[in-house]
Amino acid sequence: MQDPIRIALDDTTPAQAGRFDRFKLIAWWDQDRLRNAKVLVIGAGALGNELLKNLALLGVGNVLVADLDIIENSNLSRSVLYRASDSGKAKATVAAEAAREIYPDMATQSFVGNVVYDLGLGVFRWADVILGGLDNREARLAINRACWKLNKPWIDGAIETIQGTARVFVPDGPAQASACYECTMSETDWRLLNLRRSCNLLTREQMQTGHTPTTPTISSIIAGVQVQEAVKILHGLPTFAGKGWVFEGLSADSYMTEFQRKEDCYSHDPLDEVIELQASAQSLTARELLFIAREKLGPEAQIELGRDVLEKLTCPRCKREENLFSSLGKVSVDKAWCPPCMEAGHKSRREVTTFHKIRGDEAFLDQPLASIGIPPFDILISRNANQTIGFELTGDAPQVLGNLSRHDEGLDFE
Ligand SMILES: [Zn+2]
Ligand SMILES: [Zn+2]
């Protein structure tokens, strides 16, 4: 007699019968691992489309897709999941739906928003592996720090014209200490990143819409390698962690490059523990969270937000201040201009003040975390000399994970 759990997990529903028969001929293949796997795909552009297509064909069971953008006609030449009729719709939503058309048993959820500022860290903790398909350093660094905090492997893809690279980053295990994305960053990378960070809202938004020329052929090659490494991770097989696979399209040469680990790298900051709070960003106040953290870590403990939150805008001309308390990802370009000065006929661009800690003397302590720019299902961090603890807003999980919150078996990684 068959084990009932086994039946539920097997692909024996009439419509799915035989679907994965060829994979089963691979000696080490375990379709149940893929069916139970939880994958976070960040970016639903050229790479993201290929990542999702591959995950769906392979029978990966749980996928969350995050992207800010809407579909334009120029995407159609590099995006197998989009049609002309999708123009104007959110990439993440359409991509998730199209992946489910390929593999109807896949549970999906989409996140339409800024992945650096508005994607709660709980999503990273939920995932078994993270796949990156974004084209900027700021997002890569944010993904990297989140993954290192939560001990999650991530696989980055980068493409330009007909060349590209796939890089595998696996946080420190007992057996190895490998390089992370931040370790690979050169002085030029930091200069470009800081330029991006220091600029005000207007230039920030302009810089986010990069127009790197790419082809569907290179995105298919690089995303293929990314997903194949993810399959190996999900099976507990060795991967090229701490290395990058580079493909030079013009010469059709490929090679591996090994990254040097930097011992003083800021990303190597794992949480010792994550405490799940049955609380939501909408209801828990900053004061309540600080109280919980201090109970655990002592009266000096502060809350680290792990990201910059916009506190106020100050006009250099008329000195007026406007308190905003918003995520940097949610403030639009036109907010940069000072309204009273505009009315008086002067175009004055306001300066941005951000904060990234709650110390206990703030005026906003009794406001809910959401109202000061903290995203739902986030993990906020507090530490003392001995330990670093993450406090997860687990009450937001059903809202953020949607369908995915019902499939929570998970895999253990050693
Ligand atoms: Zn590092
Ligand atoms: Zn002004």
* C-alpha 211 – ligand 1 centre gap (Å): 28
Closest by CA position to 375, among listed 272, 271, 280, 243? 280
**Residue 10 reports pLDDT greater than 60:** no
Nearest ligand to the CA atom of 180? 1
Q: For residue 326, how many other CB atoms are within 10 A of its CB?
A: 17
The pLDDT score that the predictor gives to residue 6 is 46
Task: Work out the average pLDDT over 315-338.
Answer: 87
**Residue 202 reports pLDDT greater than 50:** no
* C-alpha 181 – ligand 1 centre gap (Å): 6
The conformational region for residue 174 under phi > 0 = left, psi -120 to 50 = alpha, else beta, is: alpha
Q: Assess contact for 55 and 63: CB atoms under 8 A.
A: yes
* C-alpha 113 – ligand 2 centre gap (Å): 30
Phi and psi at 397, nearest 5°, equal -55, -45
Beta strands in 223-368 (DSSP E): 243-248, 253-258, 273-277, 303-314, 321-327, 351-358
**Residue 42 reports pLDDT greater than 80:** yes
The pLDDT score that the predictor gives to residue 211 is 76
CA 308 to chain centre: 16
What is the value of pTM for the model shown? 0.91
N-terminal to C-terminal alpha carbon distance within the chain = 32
Closest by CA position to 238, among listed 370, 57, 56, 414? 414
**Interatomic CA distance for residues 72 and 76, integer angstroms:** 7
Q: What is the pLDDT of residues 269-298, one digit of tens each?
A: 999 999 999 999 999 999 999 999 999 999
Amino acid letter, residue 14: P
**Residue 256 reports pLDDT greater than 90:** yes
* Average pLDDT of the chain, as a whole number: 90
| Matching residue, tokens 């939501």 | 280
Q: Assess contact for 146 and 404: CB atoms under 8 A.
A: no
**Interatomic CA distance for residues 261 and 255, integer angstroms:** 19
* C-alpha 324 – ligand 2 centre gap (Å): 16
Q: What is the pLDDT of residues 215-229, one digit of tens each?
A: 999 999 999 999 999
The pLDDT score that the predictor gives to residue 330 is 78
**Interatomic CA distance for residues 203 and 197, integer angstroms:** 10
Nearest ligand to the CA atom of 318? 2
The pLDDT score that the predictor gives to residue 377 is 98
Q: Which residue has the higher pLDDT, 303 or 135?
A: 303
Q: Which residue has the higher pLDDT, 191 or 287?
A: 287
Nearest ligand to the CA atom of 264? 1
CA-CA-CA-CA torsion for 27, 166, 230, 21, nearest 10 degrees? -50
* C-alpha 104 – ligand 1 centre gap (Å): 38
Quote the radius of gyration of the chain (alpha carbons, Å).
Answer: 22
* C-alpha 414 – ligand 1 centre gap (Å): 20
Q: Which residue has the higher pLDDT, 193 or 67?
A: 67
* C-alpha 337 – ligand 2 centre gap (Å): 8
The pLDDT score that the predictor gives to residue 329 is 76
64-73, 223-232, 286-295, 402-411: which has the minimum mean pLDDT? 402-411
* C-alpha 368 – ligand 2 centre gap (Å): 30
* C-alpha 331 – ligand 1 centre gap (Å): 30
134-148, 225-239, 360-374, 398-412: which has the minimum mean pLDDT? 398-412
* C-alpha 349 – ligand 2 centre gap (Å): 8
* C-alpha 203 – ligand 2 centre gap (Å): 19
The pLDDT score that the predictor gives to residue 3 is 46
DSSP one-letter code for 176? -
Nearest ligand to the CA atom of 185? 1
Buried-exposed string 363-392: b where 16+ CB fall within 10 A, e elsewhere: ebbeebbbebbbbbbbbbbbbbeeebbbbb
* C-alpha 312 – ligand 2 centre gap (Å): 13
* C-alpha 351 – ligand 2 centre gap (Å): 10
Closest by CA position to 82, among listed 45, 113, 127? 45
Nearest ligand to the CA atom of 341? 2
Nearest ligand to the CA atom of 145? 1
Q: Name the pLDDT band for 210 (thresholds 50, 70, 90).
A: low
Q: Which residue has the higher pLDDT, 145 or 408?
A: 145
* C-alpha 177 – ligand 1 centre gap (Å): 10
Q: What is the pLDDT of residues 229-243, one digit of tens each?
A: 999 999 999 999 999
* C-alpha 369 – ligand 1 centre gap (Å): 30
* C-alpha 79 – ligand 1 centre gap (Å): 32
* C-alpha 201 – ligand 2 centre gap (Å): 16
Q: Name the pLDDT band for 414 (thresholds 50, 70, 90).
A: very low
* C-alpha 116 – ligand 1 centre gap (Å): 18
Q: What percent of the chain has pLDDT over 70?
A: 90
The pLDDT score that the predictor gives to residue 4 is 46
Nearest ligand to the CA atom of 348? 2
